[in-house]
Structure 1
Amino acid sequence: MQEFLKATDYIESEHPAVLAFVEKHLSGEDELSKVLSLYYAVRDEIFYDPFTADLQSQGFKASHVLEVQRAWCVPKAILLAACCRSIGVPARLGFADVTNHLSTEKMRQAMETDVFYWHGYTSIYLQGKWVKATPAFNIELCDKFGLKPLEFNGVDDSLYHEFDQAGNRHMEYLSERGEYADLPYQDLIADFKKYYPKMSALLGLSFDEEVRKELSVNNNS
């Protein structure tokens, strides 16, 4: 288990910013309660924003996520893993390819597909088993898009929003990529360059503004 407890260049479980975040949000007496408090802090205090997908190695670090307070699924999963390791709970990074209908017009133009490769989650060792947790979509974003916020109880896997609140198909897992002690940065970047050559066009744009436009179009259609 030691490799899932130690700090790494990305999972900075000993970084002062991570320790301060944990101290601020940690609650509960037992291990399960503490992990749940950290899950919800990462889910809702760090806004989901794919337009911050800085693919330089610095952009994936837990401390960087806390600095900018916005991130997409992979850096948020890294932050949650760092928080868990900081309190002595083993955690690793999991990845899968999924279809995801939570997007905006500019995202669809840049990605040219509805497949999200390397969708990230955190796998946490609790009560004698590994449990999957996905802290990607904050509650405010879910409310805007009509999604049920993804809950986590520490016992059952919490992986994805299969349907929205209206019962429409929202997300579907296509294939698992496995779980890792640290970020497989080179493999991820190679696939992003292959599948998303136009993604850099999103950097610097306002995800909040694009969400507003998307919802306006959906409400008027």
Structure 2
Amino acid sequence: MNCLKTTYFFDFENEIIQKLIASHKENTTSDKEKAIALYNNVRDNWKYDPYSISFSKENYKASTIAQKETGNCVEKSILLIACLRAVGIPARLHLGKVKNHIAVERLTEKFGSNELTPHGMVNVFLNNQWLKMSPAFNVSLCKKFNVEPLEFDGENSSFLQQYNNEGSLFMEYTADYGFFEDVPLDFMKKNVKEHYPHIFDTDNNETEFKL
């Protein structure tokens, strides 16, 4: 199955990723318990930052992301997928577009929209079924926005924080681009430039942006 392979981006044979998953690889817990532990680790130990965007291949390698303190939704998903594959759990990248409804002032200022694309999450194969999970929003960020963090129980999909704790609409999916067994960098570049043309001129040769 390709969803277990090491690739340029999901480079889980790298010693940095191997150190991250060492305790999970050697213990005798179930795949479900390993997936939950790895999900929580990536969700909370890399703070969510949607304002750093890169078109550099190197920056989308799991081993590169692991050395950072922050990551956007795609980067955190790549890291989690690499960790899952490293312990023998099939996983793949799933991309879509989301619209945020709370705390969108800076988002709208930087992107000219309250929509983020491509938004990344993870498909994981457990108990003979594909489940969706999104490790993007760390617990501290969720507390700041008064929304419950996404918990993954290993049996149900967990990828949408639709409402905050007061019942107000928090976010929604507005497009689904499907799943990918490897990181579709060319598709991602095209998608970003099409949705944010005022920021990303198609003739711009820069590979990294801090908005």
After TM superposition, is the score higher than 0.5? yes
Query: What is the deviation of 1:30?
Result: 1.1
Query: What is the deviation of 1:188?
Result: 0.8
Conserved 8 A contact 1:133-1:152: yes
Q: Given the superposition, is the C-alpha separation of residues 19 and 154 from structure 1 closer, same or farther in structure 2, using an over 3 Å criterion?
A: same
Give the match's secondary structure for 1:150.
coil
Give the match's secondary structure for 2:150.
coil
2:166 pairs with 1:160: no
Conserved 8 A contact 2:65-2:79: yes
Conserved 8 A contact 1:28-1:34: no
Residue 13 of structure 2: aligned partner: 14
Conserved 8 A contact 1:53-1:59: no
Query: What is the deviation of 1:104?
Result: 5.0
- Give 1 or 2: higher helix fraction: 1
In structure 1, what is the Cα distance between the partners aligned to 2:171 and 2:94? 17
Residue 5 of structure 1: aligned partner: 4
Residue 33 of structure 1: aligned partner: 33
Q: Given the superposition, is the C-alpha separation of residues 79 and 103 from structure 1 closer, same or farther in structure 2, using an over 3 Å criterion?
A: farther
Report the count of equivalent residues.
203
Give the match's secondary structure for 2:75.
helix
Query: What is the deviation of 1:16?
Result: 1.0
Query: What is the deviation of 1:28?
Result: 6.3
In structure 2, what is the Cα distance between the partners aligned to 1:20 and 1:141? 26
Give the match's secondary structure for 2:67.
helix
Q: Which blocks of at least 5 consecutive residues in structure 1 are unaligned?
A: 206-221
Q: Given the superposition, is the C-alpha separation of residues 101 and 11 from structure 1 closer, same or farther in structure 2, using an over 3 Å criterion?
A: farther
Q: Given the superposition, is the C-alpha separation of residues 75 and 112 from structure 1 closer, same or farther in structure 2, using an over 3 Å criterion?
A: same
Q: How do residues 48-63 of structure 1 correspond to structure 2 at under 5 angstroms? A: 48-63=48-63
Q: How do residues 36-185 of structure 1 correspond to structure 2 at under 5 angstroms? A: 36-101=36-101, 103-185=103-185
Note the alpha carbon deviations across 1:15-73, whole angstroms, 9 max, x for none: 11111111256776111101110000000011111123223222221112111121000
Query: What is the deviation of 1:181?
Result: 0.4
Give the match's secondary structure for 1:53.
strand
Q: Given the superposition, is the C-alpha separation of residues 161 and 113 from structure 1 closer, same or farther in structure 2, using an over 3 Å criterion?
A: same
Equivalent pairs: percent with the same residue?
33
In structure 1, what is the Cα distance between the partners aligned to 2:99 and 2:105? 16
Q: Which blocks of at least 5 consecutive residues in structure 2 are unaligned?
A: 201-205
Query: What is the deviation of 1:204?
Result: 4.5
TM-score (norm 2): 0.89
Query: What is the deviation of 1:103?
Result: 4.8
Note the alpha carbon deviations across 1:115-160, whole angstroms, 9 max, x for none: 1122110100001111111000000010111110011111111111
Q: How do residues 185-204 of structure 1 correspond to structure 2 at under 5 angstroms? A: 185-197=185-197, 198=199, 203-204=209-210
Quick one: which amino acid aligns to residue 30 of structure 2?
A: D
Query: What is the deviation of 1:106?
Result: 3.5
Q: Given the superposition, is the C-alpha separation of residues 93 and 154 from structure 1 closer, same or farther in structure 2, using an over 3 Å criterion?
A: same
In structure 2, what is the Cα distance between the partners aligned to 1:92 and 1:7? 12
In structure 2, what is the Cα distance between the partners aligned to 1:81 and 1:136? 13
Query: What is the deviation of 1:100?
Result: 1.6
Quick one: which amino acid aligns to residue 49 of structure 2?
A: D
Higher alpha-carbon deviation: 99-108 or 131-140: 99-108
